[in-house]
Protein backbone atom coordinates (compact mmCIF):
# COMPACT_ATOMS: atom_id res chain seq x y z
CA UNK A 1 0.00 0.00 0.00
CA UNK A 2 1.50 3.32 -1.11
CA UNK A 3 0.88 6.53 0.86
CA UNK A 4 -1.79 8.74 -0.62
CA UNK A 5 -0.59 11.73 -2.59
CA UNK A 6 -1.53 13.41 -5.84
CA UNK A 7 0.13 11.40 -8.60
CA UNK A 8 0.81 13.38 -11.74
CA UNK A 9 0.78 11.81 -15.18
CA UNK A 10 3.37 12.52 -17.87
CA UNK A 11 2.86 13.16 -21.56
CA UNK A 12 2.66 9.44 -22.33
CA UNK A 13 0.38 8.61 -19.42
CA UNK A 14 2.86 7.13 -16.96
CA UNK A 15 1.64 7.80 -13.43
CA UNK A 16 3.97 8.63 -10.57
CA UNK A 17 2.67 5.56 -8.73
CA UNK A 18 3.79 3.29 -11.57
CA UNK A 19 7.21 4.93 -11.79
CA UNK A 20 7.60 4.74 -8.02
CA UNK A 21 6.82 1.02 -8.05
CA UNK A 22 9.38 0.57 -10.83
CA UNK A 23 12.00 2.36 -8.71
CA UNK A 24 11.20 -0.01 -5.83
CA UNK A 25 11.60 -2.99 -8.17
CA UNK A 26 14.98 -1.59 -9.19
CA UNK A 27 16.16 -1.58 -5.56
CA UNK A 28 14.66 -4.98 -4.73
CA UNK A 29 16.45 -6.55 -7.68
CA UNK A 30 19.68 -4.70 -6.79
CA UNK A 31 19.99 -3.07 -10.21
CA UNK A 32 22.62 -0.31 -10.26
CA UNK A 33 21.48 1.17 -13.60
CA UNK A 34 18.12 2.24 -14.98
CA UNK A 35 18.94 0.40 -18.20
CA UNK A 36 19.03 -2.88 -16.22
CA UNK A 37 15.60 -2.08 -14.83
CA UNK A 38 14.17 -1.40 -18.29
CA UNK A 39 15.60 -4.67 -19.65
CA UNK A 40 14.07 -6.51 -16.69
CA UNK A 41 10.63 -4.94 -17.23
CA UNK A 42 10.76 -5.66 -20.97
CA UNK A 43 11.45 -9.34 -20.27
CA UNK A 44 8.99 -9.56 -17.35
CA UNK A 45 5.84 -7.82 -18.57
CA UNK A 46 3.83 -9.22 -15.65
CA UNK A 47 6.05 -7.22 -13.26
CA UNK A 48 5.60 -4.15 -15.48
CA UNK A 49 1.83 -4.69 -15.29
CA UNK A 50 1.96 -4.93 -11.49
CA UNK A 51 3.90 -1.66 -11.45
CA UNK A 52 0.96 -0.04 -13.20
CA UNK A 53 2.24 0.31 -16.76
CA UNK A 54 0.07 -0.46 -19.79
CA UNK A 55 2.02 -3.37 -21.31
CA UNK A 56 0.06 -3.00 -24.57
CA UNK A 57 1.99 0.24 -25.12
CA UNK A 58 5.72 1.08 -25.01
CA UNK A 59 7.19 1.20 -21.51
CA UNK A 60 8.71 4.46 -20.18
CA UNK A 61 12.07 5.52 -21.54
CA UNK A 62 15.34 5.79 -19.65
CA UNK A 63 14.95 9.58 -19.50
CA UNK A 64 11.43 9.35 -18.06
CA UNK A 65 12.54 7.18 -15.16
CA UNK A 66 15.74 9.16 -14.57
CA UNK A 67 13.79 12.43 -14.45
CA UNK A 68 11.32 10.93 -11.96
CA UNK A 69 14.11 9.74 -9.64
CA UNK A 70 15.93 13.07 -9.76
CA UNK A 71 12.89 15.29 -9.32
CA UNK A 72 11.28 13.52 -6.35
CA UNK A 73 12.48 14.11 -2.82
CA UNK A 74 13.68 11.33 -0.53
CA UNK A 75 10.77 12.18 1.75
CA UNK A 76 8.41 10.36 -0.62
CA UNK A 77 10.31 7.09 -0.16
CA UNK A 78 10.43 7.71 3.59
CA UNK A 79 6.63 7.93 3.63
CA UNK A 80 6.37 4.70 1.67
CA UNK A 81 8.66 2.92 4.09
CA UNK A 82 6.88 4.24 7.17
CA UNK A 83 3.46 3.22 5.83
CA UNK A 84 4.74 -0.29 5.10
CA UNK A 85 6.27 -0.60 8.59
CA UNK A 86 3.04 0.58 10.23
CA UNK A 87 1.02 -1.92 8.18
CA UNK A 88 3.33 -4.79 9.16
CA UNK A 89 3.07 -3.70 12.80
CA UNK A 90 -0.73 -3.73 12.62
CA UNK A 91 -0.59 -7.25 11.14
CA UNK A 92 1.66 -8.39 13.97
CA UNK A 93 4.56 -9.22 11.66
CA UNK A 94 7.09 -7.00 13.43
CA UNK A 95 7.53 -4.76 16.43
CA UNK A 96 10.33 -2.69 17.96
CA UNK A 97 11.04 -4.69 21.11
CA UNK A 98 14.29 -6.16 19.76
CA UNK A 99 16.12 -3.80 17.38
CA UNK A 100 19.61 -3.36 15.97
CA UNK A 101 21.38 -0.49 14.22
CA UNK A 102 24.31 -0.53 11.80
CA UNK A 103 25.59 1.35 8.77
CA UNK A 104 26.80 0.28 5.35
CA UNK A 105 29.09 2.30 3.04
CA UNK A 106 27.80 3.57 -0.30
CA UNK A 107 30.58 4.52 -2.70
CA UNK A 108 30.08 7.57 -4.88
CA UNK A 109 30.32 7.18 -8.64
CA UNK A 110 33.74 8.79 -9.03
CA UNK A 111 37.10 7.76 -10.47
CA UNK A 112 38.68 8.55 -7.11
CA UNK A 113 37.08 5.38 -5.73
CA UNK A 114 38.57 3.27 -8.53
CA UNK A 115 41.19 0.90 -7.01
CA UNK A 116 43.11 1.15 -10.28
CA UNK A 117 43.62 4.88 -9.73
CA UNK A 118 47.03 5.53 -8.18
CA UNK A 119 46.75 9.27 -7.63
CA UNK A 120 48.54 10.06 -4.38
CA UNK A 121 46.07 12.71 -3.26
CA UNK A 122 42.76 11.14 -4.35
CA UNK A 123 41.66 10.76 -0.70
CA UNK A 124 42.80 14.18 0.40
CA UNK A 125 39.84 15.95 2.09
CA UNK A 126 40.32 19.05 -0.04
CA UNK A 127 39.98 17.07 -3.31
CA UNK A 128 36.19 16.83 -3.45
CA UNK A 129 35.13 14.71 -6.48
CA UNK A 130 33.88 16.91 -9.29
CA UNK A 131 31.24 14.32 -10.20
CA UNK A 132 29.63 14.39 -6.73
CA UNK A 133 29.80 17.63 -4.73
CA UNK A 134 27.69 16.24 -1.87
CA UNK A 135 29.59 13.08 -0.89
CA UNK A 136 32.02 12.88 2.03
CA UNK A 137 35.32 11.13 2.74
CA UNK A 138 34.93 8.04 4.92
CA UNK A 139 36.74 4.88 5.96
CA UNK A 140 35.58 1.33 6.56
CA UNK A 141 37.32 -1.80 7.79
CA UNK A 142 37.15 -5.38 6.58
CA UNK A 143 35.56 -6.57 9.83
CA UNK A 144 34.38 -5.40 13.24
CA UNK A 145 37.26 -6.98 15.18
CA UNK A 146 39.27 -4.82 17.58
CA UNK A 147 42.51 -6.00 15.97
CA UNK A 148 41.39 -5.23 12.41
CA UNK A 149 44.10 -3.31 10.55
CA UNK A 150 42.74 -3.54 7.01
CA UNK A 151 40.84 -0.40 6.15
CA UNK A 152 39.88 1.49 3.03
CA UNK A 153 39.13 5.13 2.36
CA UNK A 154 36.25 6.00 0.06
CA UNK A 155 34.23 8.95 -1.18
CA UNK A 156 30.53 8.49 -0.68
CA UNK A 157 27.76 8.04 1.84
CA UNK A 158 26.55 5.83 4.69
CA UNK A 159 23.17 4.16 4.93
CA UNK A 160 22.24 3.81 8.62
CA UNK A 161 19.57 1.10 8.99
CA UNK A 162 17.49 0.18 12.04
CA UNK A 163 16.10 -3.36 11.80
CA UNK A 164 13.71 -5.62 13.67
CA UNK A 165 16.00 -8.44 14.84
CA UNK A 166 13.26 -11.09 14.89
CA UNK A 167 12.19 -10.73 11.26
CA UNK A 168 15.31 -9.03 9.90
CA UNK A 169 13.14 -6.35 8.27
CA UNK A 170 14.25 -2.69 8.21
CA UNK A 171 12.05 -0.28 10.13
CA UNK A 172 13.89 3.00 9.50
CA UNK A 173 16.91 4.38 7.67
CA UNK A 174 18.93 7.56 7.39
CA UNK A 175 21.49 8.29 4.69
CA UNK A 176 24.38 10.62 5.53
CA UNK A 177 27.71 11.54 4.01
CA UNK A 178 30.52 9.06 4.70
CA UNK A 179 32.31 11.37 7.15
CA UNK A 180 29.45 11.26 9.68
CA UNK A 181 30.18 9.06 12.71
CA UNK A 182 27.76 6.17 13.28
CA UNK A 183 27.21 7.10 16.93
CA UNK A 184 25.92 10.60 16.07
CA UNK A 185 23.01 9.16 14.06
CA UNK A 186 21.70 6.68 16.64
CA UNK A 187 19.61 9.10 18.71
CA UNK A 188 18.07 10.76 15.64
CA UNK A 189 16.97 7.48 14.09
CA UNK A 190 15.51 6.24 17.40
CA UNK A 191 13.57 9.49 17.88
CA UNK A 192 12.29 9.44 14.32
CA UNK A 193 11.24 5.79 14.58
CA UNK A 194 9.39 6.38 17.85
CA UNK A 195 7.14 8.88 16.06
CA UNK A 196 5.45 6.12 14.06
CA UNK A 197 6.54 2.88 15.80
CA UNK A 198 6.66 2.51 19.59
CA UNK A 199 10.25 1.77 20.73
CA UNK A 200 9.69 1.97 24.49
CA UNK A 201 11.22 -0.87 26.54
CA UNK A 202 13.28 -1.97 23.54
CA UNK A 203 16.45 -4.05 23.52
CA UNK A 204 18.97 -2.12 21.44
CA UNK A 205 21.92 -3.91 19.77
CA UNK A 206 24.81 -2.24 17.94
CA UNK A 207 28.54 -2.69 17.29
CA UNK A 208 31.47 -0.97 19.00
CA UNK A 209 31.07 2.21 16.92
CA UNK A 210 28.03 3.02 19.09
CA UNK A 211 29.83 2.60 22.41
CA UNK A 212 29.01 6.14 23.54
CA UNK A 213 27.66 7.07 26.97
CA UNK A 214 24.84 9.28 25.68
CA UNK A 215 23.36 6.34 23.73
CA UNK A 216 23.29 4.13 26.83
CA UNK A 217 21.68 6.90 28.89
CA UNK A 218 19.07 7.79 26.28
CA UNK A 219 17.98 4.19 25.67
CA UNK A 220 17.70 3.62 29.42
CA UNK A 221 16.16 6.92 30.56
CA UNK A 222 14.07 7.99 27.56
CA UNK A 223 13.02 4.66 26.04
CA UNK A 224 13.29 2.55 29.23
CA UNK A 225 15.25 -0.07 27.31
CA UNK A 226 18.56 -1.91 27.45
CA UNK A 227 21.71 -1.64 25.33
CA UNK A 228 23.95 -4.51 24.24
CA UNK A 229 27.02 -2.90 22.68
CA UNK A 230 30.60 -4.29 22.77
CA UNK A 231 33.10 -2.02 24.48
CA UNK A 232 35.33 0.02 22.22
CA UNK A 233 38.94 -0.16 23.36
CA UNK A 234 39.41 3.53 22.71
CA UNK A 235 37.61 4.10 26.02
CA UNK A 236 39.99 2.03 28.15
CA UNK A 237 42.71 3.63 30.24
CA UNK A 238 45.28 0.95 29.38
CA UNK A 239 45.71 0.97 25.60
CA UNK A 240 48.11 -1.38 23.87
CA UNK A 241 51.67 -0.05 24.06
CA UNK A 242 55.04 -0.75 22.49
CA UNK A 243 58.03 -1.62 24.73
CA UNK A 244 59.07 2.02 24.33
CA UNK A 245 55.80 3.12 25.96
CA UNK A 246 54.18 4.64 22.84
CA UNK A 247 50.48 3.69 22.64
CA UNK A 248 48.88 1.97 19.64
CA UNK A 249 45.59 3.46 18.38
CA UNK A 250 42.39 1.60 17.48
CA UNK A 251 43.57 1.25 13.87
CA UNK A 252 46.81 -0.42 14.98
CA UNK A 253 48.96 2.65 14.29
CA UNK A 254 51.71 3.85 16.61
CA UNK A 255 50.90 7.29 18.02
CA UNK A 256 53.43 10.14 18.16
CA UNK A 257 54.48 12.29 21.11
CA UNK A 258 52.73 15.66 21.16
CA UNK A 259 54.11 17.63 24.09
CA UNK A 260 53.06 17.51 27.72
CA UNK A 261 50.08 18.61 29.76
CA UNK A 262 49.84 19.60 33.43
CA UNK A 263 46.81 19.03 35.68
CA UNK A 264 46.34 18.57 39.43
CA UNK A 265 50.07 18.85 39.99
CA UNK A 266 50.83 16.00 37.58
CA UNK A 267 52.75 16.06 34.29
CA UNK A 268 51.41 13.85 31.54
CA UNK A 269 52.81 12.97 28.13
CA UNK A 270 50.41 13.69 25.25
CA UNK A 271 50.22 11.55 22.11
CA UNK A 272 48.56 12.26 18.77
CA UNK A 273 47.50 10.42 15.63
CA UNK A 274 50.37 9.85 13.14
CA UNK A 275 48.15 11.33 10.41
CA UNK A 276 47.48 14.54 12.36
CA UNK A 277 49.77 16.70 10.23
CA UNK A 278 49.59 14.65 7.05
CA UNK A 279 48.70 16.53 3.88
CA UNK A 280 47.83 13.44 1.85
CA UNK A 281 46.05 11.09 4.27
CA UNK A 282 43.58 11.29 7.12
CA UNK A 283 43.20 9.10 10.20
CA UNK A 284 41.23 5.86 9.59
CA UNK A 285 39.61 6.47 12.99
CA UNK A 286 38.57 10.01 12.07
CA UNK A 287 35.23 9.59 13.83
CA UNK A 288 37.04 9.40 17.19
CA UNK A 289 39.32 11.66 19.15
CA UNK A 290 42.88 10.39 18.61
CA UNK A 291 44.92 12.92 20.56
- Annotate 169-206 with b (16+ C-beta within 10 A) or e (fewer): eebbbbebbbbbbbbebbeebbebbbeebebeebebbb
For residue 3, what pLDDT is reported? 46
Beta strands in 76-210 (DSSP E): 98-107, 136-141, 151-164, 170-177, 203-205
Choice among 82-86, 123-127, 128-132, 250-254 with the minimum mean pLDDT: 250-254
pLDDT-derived band at 9, boundaries 50, 70, 90: very low
pLDDT in tens, 209-267: 899 999 999 999 999 999 999 887 764 556 677 777 788 876 677 888 888 887 666 78
Choice among 5-14, 96-105, 123-132 with the minimum mean pLDDT: 5-14
For residue 258, what pLDDT is reported? 82
Q: Give which of 41, 45, 9, 46 is closest to 25, Cα–Cα.
A: 41
For residue 120, what pLDDT is reported? 78
For residue 257, what pLDDT is reported? 81
Dist. CA 80–CA 148, nearest whole Å: 38
For residue 147, what pLDDT is reported? 56
Dist. CA 267–CA 260, nearest whole Å: 7
Residue 4 pLDDT greater than 60, yes or no: no
Residue 288 pLDDT greater than 60, yes or no: no
Residue 180 pLDDT greater than 50, yes or no: yes
Residue 291 pLDDT greater than 90, yes or no: no
Residue 78 pLDDT greater than 60, yes or no: yes
State mean pLDDT over 110-123. 84
Residue 284 pLDDT greater than 70, yes or no: no
Residues in contact with 24: Cβ distance below 8 Å, sequence separation at least 6, in sequence order? 80
Q: What percent of the chain has pLDDT over 90?
A: 45
Distance of CA 153 to the CA centre of its chain: 15
For residue 51, what pLDDT is reported? 93
With contact defined as beta carbons under 8 Å apart, do 2 and 17 qualify?
yes
Dist. CA 26–CA 180, nearest whole Å: 27
Q: For the chain, which domains are there?
A: 16-72 (no CATH), 80-228 (3.30.420), 234-291 (no CATH)
Mean pLDDT of the chain: 83
Choice among 8-22, 189-203, 243-257 with the minimum mean pLDDT: 8-22
Amino acid sequence: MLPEYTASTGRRGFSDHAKLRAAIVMKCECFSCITDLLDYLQNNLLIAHYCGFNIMKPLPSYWTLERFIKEHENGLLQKVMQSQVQKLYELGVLDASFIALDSTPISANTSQNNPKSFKADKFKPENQPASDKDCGLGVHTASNQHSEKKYEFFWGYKNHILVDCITGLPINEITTTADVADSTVALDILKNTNEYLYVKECTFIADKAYDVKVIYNTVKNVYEGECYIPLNKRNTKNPKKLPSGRPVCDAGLVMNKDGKTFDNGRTRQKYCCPFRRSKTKSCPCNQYECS
